[in-house]
Amino acid sequence: MFDALAKMSPEERNKALDSDPHFTRLPPERQAQMRDRLERYSAMTPEQRQQMRDRFDIVNGMPPQNRDRIREVFPRWRQLPAERQQAMREEFHSLSRMSATDREKRFADPEFQKAFAPREQQLLKDLAGSLR
């Protein structure tokens, strides 16, 4: 549904949202958040949209307790500068392909400790805790 709404003009999107009973029952601040997110999503490149869908699918496929952990950690992620988010994203992608034992070895590796500040290391460890 998000993609369909994002393809609409702002006027069509607002009309569709205003006629959706689920949307109209949301508190006004939540409605504003949704409208803002749709606006940002519609401005993304097709590649960026695909990345967002992929991330959504990953999180949606997690057990509820892992999704809760991601929701807990995400605000800390958003506080990082864009270049650090990119470095962290690349590291997390690498960690996601490792076994739990290999992840622990990576966390103990001096190269990892040099590449990431202590709070970034903790953030990656918290995120890795949601992996199988």
pLDDT in tens, 68-123: 888 888 888 889 998 999 999 899 889 988 999 999 999 999 999 999 999 999 99
The pLDDT value given to residue 129: 82
Residue 52 lies in a domain: no
Residue 14 lies in a domain: yes
Q: How far is CA 29 from CA 22, 63, 76, 84, in A?
A: 14, 28, 21, 30
pTM: 0.61
The count of domains in the chain is: 2
For residue 36, the tally of other CB atoms under 10 A from its CB is: 10
Which amino acid does the sequence have at 39? E
Question: Domain range spanning residue 21?
Answer: 2-43
